[in-house]
Amino acid sequence: MVCWISHARPLIRRLRRCLPFFAVQRATLVNVKIKWAKDRSLDSAVARERHLRQAHRLLEQISSDPRGGVPAHDLPHRPINFGNRSLLPSSFLLLFPTLFRRSSVPSRGGPVPWFHLTDSVSHLRELELRLLHATEPDLVNRLRRLLMLTADRSLPLHTIDQLSWDMGLPPDYHKNLIPRYPQFFAAYKPDNDERTWLKLSSWDARLAVSELQISSGASVDDNCLAFPVSFTRGFGLRRKCINWLKEWQTLPYTSPYADPSGIDPRTDVSEKRIVRVFHELLHLCLGKKTERANVSNLRKPLRLPQKFTKVFERHPGIFYLSRKLCVQTVVLREAYGGGRELLRKHPIVTIRESYASLMREGMPQRRPSQVSSDDAELVSSEEECCTS
């Protein structure tokens, strides 16, 4: 009997590692505190999109107007945050002469300012629209996979809106994209809820394979997968953290699309499930990053425990929390390979980088000594918000 037990122990250890939830779940969540370390390369990847989203929103409005331009009074009335200032959209557009051109049209009440796209941006926008059409199947599949990650295969449109820029969804996706794919999506309003929700119409097992499984060449049934891990140069971990991370990586890996019922939220098994869900979610984003606030409404839909975003701080080798632009942005490290450029760029990312480059070309170049505190945002892309 003793001999049999001694031979069985190695087998039991292997089963615990490779079979999901084989081991009895215990409250084994290790309390490790890992110090945040700055990564200049990934900070740069975040900072170069400064004001791009706001500019692109106005660019879309102008390009879609059949008049070829937009009068100032037709622009949105909500001010745009610009560093320490709030600017009207018309004033914001004047800061980027390489993107927007201003003209005056006579009227009875006096000249009316109009805004148009410059020739360079018009050509870029035409290319962007062609690429959006060509890559629409990819966009639809990524939206389907987002819904497949959720418990009820549905999300409020407001929650999807928060991720729309990062996923590359057009602003009118709920009107012009969703209705064209009734075989995949259905919009509805639940009882006692004024919000409109988007529901997945049908499950596709071919899409329920994670990016980690695809990149590693593993089968759907392979439960022994470890996450790629890398750290900022010069970053050091204490021995306790290293040992914990090695043990944590050997825990069972199951698809983020699998049913998590039965997982004790107090365990490292639960934490690994949270990591794999957000590892997959960031892969659904064009830039493999999103603001931390954008996922705040996903706890219940994704069946996550309280304080689930702590995994971003506990796993700095998988995620990087950038504090640039006075927000916290979660970046997937492996997608950048230790540099500031994506290893694999979606065509829309390339277009956005061209927009951002044009924006920087048109920004006023002034020495720091000539810049007031209100204009400091214009000069340095390296400033950091100290509020975490």
Please write the tens of the pLDDT for every residue from 264-303: 988 999 999 999 999 999 999 999 999 999 998 999 999 9
Residue 64 pLDDT more than 90? yes
Greater confidence (180 vs 242) lies with: 180
Q: At 283, phi and psi to the nearest 5? A: -70, -25
Cα separation, 353 vs 236, in Å, equals: 33
Mean pLDDT of 155-172: 97
Q: State the pLDDT at residue 218.
A: 64
Mean pLDDT within 93-109: 94
129-138 tens-digit pLDDT: 999 999 999 9
For residue 8, pLDDT over 70 is answered with no
Q: CA dihedral in degrees (116, 121, 125, 128; nearest 10)?
A: -160
> CA 52: distance to chain centroid?
15
Per-residue model confidence (pLDDT) at position 114: 97
Residue matched to tokens 């390296």: 382
Contact assessment for residue 305 and residue 282, using Cβ atoms and an 8 Å cutoff: no
How many CB atoms are located within 10 Å of the residue 284 CB? 20
For residues 19 and 25, give the distance between their C-alpha atoms in angstroms, rounded to a whole number.
Answer: 13
Spatial neighbors of 235 by CB under 8 A, at least 6 apart, are 37, 316
DSSP 266: T
pLDDT tens string 319-340: 999 999 999 999 999 999 999 9
Average pLDDT over residues 224-243: 86
pLDDT band at 19 (very low <50, low <70, confident <90, very high): very low
* Residue 79, CA distances (Å) to 104, 146, 204, 360 in order: 22, 32, 43, 21
Backbone angles phi, psi at 53, to 5 degrees: -65, -45
Domain residue limits, the chain: 46-127+349-364
Residue 42 phi, psi (nearest 5)? -75, -30
The whole-angstrom separation of Cα 25 and Cα 161 is 37
Task: Return the sign of the alpha-carbon dihedral for residues 113, 118, 121, 127.
Answer: positive
Give 86's pLDDT tier (boundaries 50, 70, 90). very high
| pLDDT tens for each residue of 356-371 | 999 999 776 644 444 3
pLDDT of residue 303: 95
Give the chain's mean pLDDT.
87
Average pLDDT over residues 64-78: 95
> 174, 185 in Cβ contact below 8 A?
no
Residue 169 has pLDDT above 80, yes or no: yes
Q: How far apart are CA 353 and CA 63, in angstroms?
A: 18
Q: DSSP of 183-211, one letter per residue? A: TTEEEE--TT--S-EEEESS--TTT-S-H
What is the token pair recorded at 188?
A: 């509805």
What integer pLDDT is reported at residue 34 of this predicted model? 82
User: What pLDDT score does 235 carry?
Assistant: 82
Q: Which two tokens stand for residue 316?
A: 């700095």
pLDDT of residue 20: 45
The average pLDDT across 210-216 equals 93
Percentage of the chain modeled with pLDDT above 90: 70
Average pLDDT over residues 180-206: 96
pLDDT of residue 79: 94
- Is the distance from CB of 317 to CB of 231 less than 8 angstroms? yes
Q: Structure tokens of 256?
A: 């983020």
